[in-house]
Amino acid sequence: MEDDWGVLSMTDLVYNHTSSDTPWLQANPECSYNLVNTSHLKPAFLMDRMLWHVTLAVADGKLEYRGIVPTIQHESDLQLMEKYLMDSFLPIYKLYEFYTCDVEAVVKKFKKLVQEGKVVEAGDSKLSEESLHLIQDPEYRRLETSVSMTDALAVFNVDKPGVKSRDERIKKCCEDFENHLVKLNQVKIDAMNDHIATAVKNFLANIRYRFVQDDGLRLKTVTRKQPLMDRYFTFPVGVPESSVEDDESLMDFDDTACIIMAHNGWVMNYDPRKNFAHSDSNVYLRRELIVWSDSVKLRYGESPADCPFLWDLMLEYTRTVVNIFHAIRLDNCHSTPVHVAEFMMDAARKVRPELYVVAELFTTGESLDNLFINHLGITTLIREAMSAWDSHEEGRLVHRYGGVPVGAFIQPHVQPLVPCVAHAIFYDMTHDNPSPIEKRCVYDALPTSALVAMACCASGSNRGYDELVPHHIHVVKEKRPYTYWNNTDNCGHMDINMANGIIAAKRALNDLHYELGIQGYSQVFVDQMNVNVVAVTRHNPTNHKTVVLIAHTSFTYPPHSKEKADVRPVIVTGNIDEVILEAKLVHHGSHSYHENKDVINGLPDFSLKLKKHIQLKDSEMATMWNDDNGKKSIGLTNLTPGSVIAFRVTLDNKSSSSIKSIKSMLQEITQEHSAESDDSIRNIISQLSLVDLNKVLYRCPSEEMDDAFGFGAYDVPNYGPMIYCGLQGIMSLLSKIRPANDLGHPLCANLRDGDWLAGYTARRLKVHATTKKLGEWLERFSVHLGGVPRYLVPCYFEVIITGAYMLLLEQSWNLMSSFVNNGSSFVHSLAMGSIQMCGEVKSSPLPGLSPSLKSDDSIASNLDINRQSTTLAAGLPHFADGIMRNWGRDTFIALRGLLLLTGRYQEARLIILSFGGCLRHGLIPNLLGGGEAARFNCRDAIWWWLQSIQDYCKEAPHGNSILQDPVSRLFPEDDSPPMQPGVKDQPLHQIILESLQKHATGVSYRECNAGFNLDRDMSDQGFNNNIGVDWATGFVLGGNINNCGTWMDKMGSSEVADTKGMPATPRDGSAVELVGLCKSAVSWLAEISQTGVFPHKGIYVEKCGQDIFVLWKEWSDKIQEKFETLFWISGTPDPDNEPKPELINIRGMYKDSHLASQFWADYQLRPNFPVAMVVAPELFSPNKAWTALQSLQEELLGPLGMKTLQASDWAYCGDYNNADVSTDPKVAHGFNYHNGPEWVWPVGYFLRAKLHFAKMLEASQPGVLSKTVKFVTQTLTHHNEAIQTSDWRSLPELTNQNGAHCRDSCPAQAWSMATILEAVRDLELIF
């Protein structure tokens, strides 16, 4: 067939059953579920025999005395049957005895053991009457269920207060035991009564379908061949069927019990992963099986060892079949054990690797379908149009089983895996089912075939459908052959040709189906035009040719077969080239149907009227006119039941021209040589700076409105505003809409309704001089988009915007460092945080720079210090503009990752100098406020600033030159009013010295403008600040219990919870990360002062009234000497170094602070010491550091962030809700901001510390480095996924416990992106 005709072949593979008379089954009964290997089926077998004997009794007229006659026709007959079964017949056989115990015998045994003084070994002290259960007899014999006598004695052989003798006690124990057994038996009896009631209900339902229902079999008389219900079990051949009692006796003998086998079938809504013949199922007993009484269910067990003969036989069967056939159909796949089918399919593909696997799979849902598909490698699932109950459902199936929507987005060649519908082969009718003429009506055959042909998937049919055979063709009982093909005019009663039934139309439809598939008409739209009329559109997304088919279905016989459909006109955008076909069935009424005794024949009184490839003017079903808007309308003037019409549509000239122009613009995007043109998009984008890219790609609404051009975020009707004003706002939506082809999304509706979004995108860029050309290019695109048919607008909008977006990303990475430009996609994503956060916002300026500051050509050229206003937002959208944008600590924690590692040295330099110009009290601002409105209420920003200067000097080209840059002092003295740039300039190294000297000397001050207007939540004492150094240890210290000067800066604000003015985490004293940052700074200064790069050797310290000069190295050494002694908590008790052991909650860690006012705070496990480990690793002994990091990993590490407090701590609350108005002081108004929620930025330092100390320990612990690299990589996958799935394309500020989303968190946070990028950089440097 393959070689001679080019035809491939397919056949069935059947694994879950075999014919009842299969010879090898009789010789190998272990292959079945029989009463020997599946003894739990004995009660079900007896139920089966009982009901069979009822059939015999009814057939023989033995129940007529009860009104039950062989000719069952009415519901009243079923009521009589139910009463007889439930009241008289079934109770006789006491089926519950298979599950209950013989109370008398069990009590007798118990009494004997008690009288013998049986000693019970000590057992479970929790034993009670409720824990004593019946133990099912494994052979399911009557009244052989038992109990554990050991447990029975332990529970019931006990003292009985008030009894007067041993015999009386024993009697009382036995009575109690007997009562308990009666209760246990009753539970089983009740369960059996329920099973029997369900079995009778299902038995009656079967009788109803077979004898009573109009849509059932309508059998006339009960006989052996037409029983009340088919049998569930085989019965030994030659054994008399004399009585139920005799049948039951067969179960006692293995030679007969082994050939009593369970038939196969299927169970409605049953989980196909479960075996309905298993001991935990009662399907057979409850008569829930739709049984196939001519087949036996096969029993494989869990592996080949359980039934070697069957596995070997089926393996050979499989290999033989697939060696011959190209494709197989897994028959009854849903009832085939998955592990068996998986084993056989693996073997099959070794014989034929390209095997095409079709499956008949009926499960309870598509998720279960996918389980079978994934395990078995199923290529195609069988689906059937006859499963639809009306035309709407049939149309849904056409849409469901293939293709993508008309106007669908163009998908990239490489795309993320997304859930999809399994590939289908869509049949108009499958085999061994009622004829559609029986199920619906003859007029529906043609329209259903037409709808199936329009489905964008494989299609199929069954012989007899096209010939209009009006009855069920039974695969077992039907003995006649099909009619023979005779393609001549001389057809006899046993022949057919193109003139019969709907065969000619089916060929035309099959040709159309093939054309649509081979020519790429991959898009589908289904329109329910009225109750019975369905229109299906197939569209070619490349040339935009369209085929529209309209079918008038007829699920029931129409009152008038020539009645015309009342449907709205079909609106067509384009030109109608031809009517591909129009067809309908015509009833002649001259012949009546009679079954041919020789062949399977169809209806003789219907003929097909078919026209192909005609002009619309020649159609008998449709006419066309133009409306006032120039659109074409097709009126369906003669669409009678059973009619079908299909026509071909092409684009008009205007639409074609617009699409051609857009495709030309797309070529500009995709072809690199297009950059040669000045006005090409590639050339335009190549001129954009990183600050420009911030405007083009990002900007949240408050940043955009800050420009005062009148733009905010684009508001999508029925959806809401986009999160970014730039292209990322659009792309965040499109990235979810496009993979799912969600053309029903409000954004797509908005695009179809008008070109507002395209216009907005262009206009907001045209107002800026540096992005104007890009705006003009997008404006040209918007004009062309207006000429595109509206249903195609989302597709073309997406492809251009996505293309431009990708070019913009490339430009972004090209402008950054080689680390970014050559980095992974994860590095690229993290680096985009630099552009997200770094931009120009007028309401958040930097203080003026020194007029004498010169451009550093090694990092940038053409510096315009008067225009400089590029700042780093702490997070979006909460910290995007105004005074809340520029935070000292946030800026400098994020600066290395977002500016230095990305190569943005110029921005980093100017931000460092600008903040340095604001130095006051030895500190830089917490909130910058343009400098003049700065707040100096944090102790840590100065140390992060110093760390950033050090990082700049090491990372930037000629980085040390920044130390000589002039800084304009805004506050030359602590009490100075703000000065203009240039009034007081100092080199940066002098500013550094002053900040350290202030700390060395110590400063106490009160914030300027202290009071309610400055901070409505701060207490009066909280405005008082002090900083200094404890020269006994060298540790920097400061703060008090009324303020919070580190990053854990939540100030209580709830009056009802009495937390207003109370810091949640003061962390005064010496915070561990500040000690580390200080050590890092003075160690670095010690090093560069030796070479003259830094001109100052140290600072002065007052001791005993004298100023003592302390070298940087001396300060560094002092910290080194004291750090581990005062911060390390040993893994084992160390009384000499543990002044307050009662406060230790966990060992093997570093304290969070030293000498905090809150006496317990030093000992709280928080994620801060890894900062010190990264910036000053020399402070830590590697083994101790590793132990502490392991503690941190086990106790604090979450999916995305790190808990800010150990979960076992009394103050821990893992979920942050700033709107909490409760009276609970731990959480009111988000008081627990830093007492549990999982912050992302500390993860970067934790991972960097892990990598550092793993390298140090590799020599003593071989393999620790590779394990750590793997751990870090796995941890970072969560952050990569988080960015890709975030609408903000960023990492959040924090999550709630266990990584849960936090509503009040910033969804995009600068330091989160920065520190994770730093961790990735360190990871790359390992190799």
Of these residues, 17, 263, 334, 1229, which one is catalytic? 334
pLDDT tens digits, one per residue of 1310-1324 = 999 999 999 999 999
Cβ partners under 8 Å of residue 1292, min gap 6: 1200, 1240, 1282, 1286, 1302, 1305, 1306, 1307, 1308, 1309, 1312
d(CA 687, CA 695): 14
d(CA 1029, CA 157): 77
Residue 1021 and residue 1015 in contact, taking contact as beta carbons nearer than 8 Å: no
d(CA 1240, CA 1319): 12
Any catalytic annotation for residue 40? no
- Predicted local confidence at residue 864, as pLDDT: 57
pLDDT band at 863 (very low <50, low <70, confident <90, very high): very low
Tell me: pLDDT of 1270 over 50. Answer: yes
Q: Residue 553: is it exposed, middle or buried by C-beta count within 10 angstroms (0-12/13-18/19+)?
A: buried
pLDDT tens digits, one per residue of 1199-1252 = 999 999 999 999 999 999 999 999 999 999 999 999 999 999 999 999 999 999
Q: Give, in order, the Cα–Cα distances in Å from 733 to each of 728, 974, 1105, 1193.
A: 9, 50, 67, 36
The four Cα atoms 899, 902, 905, 911 give a dihedral, to 10 degrees, of: -10
d(CA 24, CA 1289): 64
Alpha helices in 1135-1180 (DSSP H): 1169-1175
Query: Omega before 877 cis (within 30°)?
Result: yes
Count each helix (H run) and each strand (E run) in the chain, helices first: 38, 41
- Predicted local confidence at residue 865, as pLDDT: 54
For the chain, give percent helix, strand, coil, nearest 5: 45, 15, 45
- 127-133 CB contacts, 8 Å cutoff, 24+ apart: 127/151, 127/154, 127/155, 128/155, 129/155, 129/156, 129/180, 131/155, 132/180, 132/184, 133/184
Backbone φ, ψ for residue 619 (5° rounding) = -75, 145
Lowest mean pLDDT among 14-23, 554-563, 739-748: 554-563
How confident is the model over 1122-1149, as a mean pLDDT?
93
Amino acid letter, residue 494: M
Of these residues, 137, 331, 1017, 1287, which one is catalytic? 331
* Rounded (10°) angle between helices 746-753 and 793-814: 110
Q: Which residues of 94-107 are buried (b: 16+ CB within 10 A; e: fewer)?
A: ebbbbbbbbbeebb
Tokens of 722: 């986009």
Concatenated DSSP letters for 344-373?
HHHHHHHH-TT-EEEE----SSHHHHHHHH
CA 306 vs. chain centroid, Å, equals 38
Q: Where are the beta strands (DSSP E) in 1042-1145?
A: 1070-1071, 1098-1103, 1106-1111, 1128-1129
Q: What's the whole-model pTM score?
A: 0.82
Going by the DSSP 8-state scheme, the letter that residue 677 receives in this structure is S
pLDDT band at 121 (very low <50, low <70, confident <90, very high): very low
pLDDT tens digits, one per residue of 369-396 = 888 898 999 999 999 999 999 999 999 9
Q: Give, in order, the Cα–Cα distances in Å from 1079 to each of 14, 75, 312, 1105.
A: 76, 94, 74, 26
d(CA 488, CA 383): 35
d(CA 1115, CA 1111): 6
How confident is the model over 1063-1085, as a mean pLDDT?
98
Lowest mean pLDDT among 230-239, 436-445, 831-840, 863-872: 863-872
pLDDT band at 674 (very low <50, low <70, confident <90, very high): low
pLDDT tens digits, one per residue of 298-315 = 999 999 999 999 999 999
- Average pLDDT, whole number, for the chain? 94
Lowest mean pLDDT among 468-472, 475-479, 750-754: 475-479
How confident is the model over 315-338, as a mean pLDDT?
94
- Predicted local confidence at residue 371, as pLDDT: 86
How confident is the model over 899-909, as a mean pLDDT?
97
Half-sphere exposure (Cβ direction) of 116: Cα atoms closer than 13 Å: 10
- Predicted local confidence at residue 324, as pLDDT: 95
pLDDT band at 675 (very low <50, low <70, confident <90, very high): low
d(CA 924, CA 947): 13
pLDDT tens digits, one per residue of 923-972 = 999 999 999 999 999 999 999 999 999 999 999 999 999 999 999 999 99
pLDDT tens digits, one per residue of 970-1002 = 999 999 999 999 999 999 999 999 999 999 999
Q: Which residues of 992-1022 are buried (b: 16+ CB within 10 A; e: fewer)?
A: bbbbbbbbbbbbebebeeeeeeebebbbeeb
Tell me: pLDDT of 122 over 60. Answer: no
Any catalytic annotation for residue 432? yes
Q: Is 608 helix (H, G, I), strand (E, B) or coil?
A: strand
Tell me: pLDDT of 124 over 60. Answer: no
Of 741, 687, 398, 383, the closest CA to residue 538 belongs to: 398
Alpha helices in 671-755 (DSSP H): 681-686, 690-697, 701-705, 727-740, 746-753
Alpha helices in 616-726 (DSSP H): 653-670, 681-686, 690-697, 701-705
d(CA 446, CA 468): 10
Of 109, 81, 85, 104, the closest CA to residue 95 belongs to: 85
Amino acid letter, residue 178: E
Tell me: pLDDT of 266 over 90. Answer: no
pLDDT tens digits, one per residue of 354-368 = 999 999 887 777 778
User: Longest C-alpha distance within the chain, in Å?
Assistant: 130
Half-sphere exposure (Cβ direction) of 155: Cα atoms closer than 13 Å: 22
Q: Give, in order, the Cα–Cα distances in Å from 503 to each of 510, 515, 554, 603.
A: 10, 18, 19, 13
How confident is the model over 268-279, as a mean pLDDT?
89
Q: For residue 1061, what is the enclosing H or E element? A: none
How confident is the model over 809-814, as a mean pLDDT?
98
pLDDT band at 123 (very low <50, low <70, confident <90, very high): very low
CA 1253 vs. chain centroid, Å, equals 36
Backbone φ, ψ for residue 63 (5° rounding) = -110, 15
Residue 826 and residue 1320 in contact, taking contact as beta carbons nearer than 8 Å: yes
Q: Where are the beta strands (DSSP E) in 1210-1309?
A: 1238-1239, 1294-1295, 1308-1309
How confident is the model over 491-497, as a mean pLDDT?
87
Please name every residue paired with 1025 in a beta bridge, in sequence order, or none if there are none. Answer: 1005
∠ CA 1037-1040-1046, nearest 5°, is 60
pLDDT tens digits, one per residue of 749-792 = 999 999 999 999 999 999 999 999 999 999 999 999 999 999 99
Of 988, 1011, 708, the closest CA to residue 852 belongs to: 988
CA distance between the termini of the chain: 59
Tokens of 1243: 């993860």
Of 381, 387, 394, the closest CA to residue 526 belongs to: 394
CA 730 vs. chain centroid, Å, equals 22
- Predicted local confidence at residue 1168, as pLDDT: 98
Tokens of 924: 């830089």
pLDDT tens digits, one per residue of 709-723 = 889 999 999 999 999
pLDDT band at 630 (very low <50, low <70, confident <90, very high): low
Of these residues, 21, 190, 432, 753, which one is catalytic? 432
pLDDT tens digits, one per residue of 589-621 = 766 888 999 999 999 889 999 999 999 999 999
Tokens of 602: 């169809």
Residue 1240 and residue 1291 in contact, taking contact as beta carbons nearer than 8 Å: yes
Tell me: pLDDT of 468 over 90. Answer: yes
Tell me: pLDDT of 19 over 70. Answer: yes
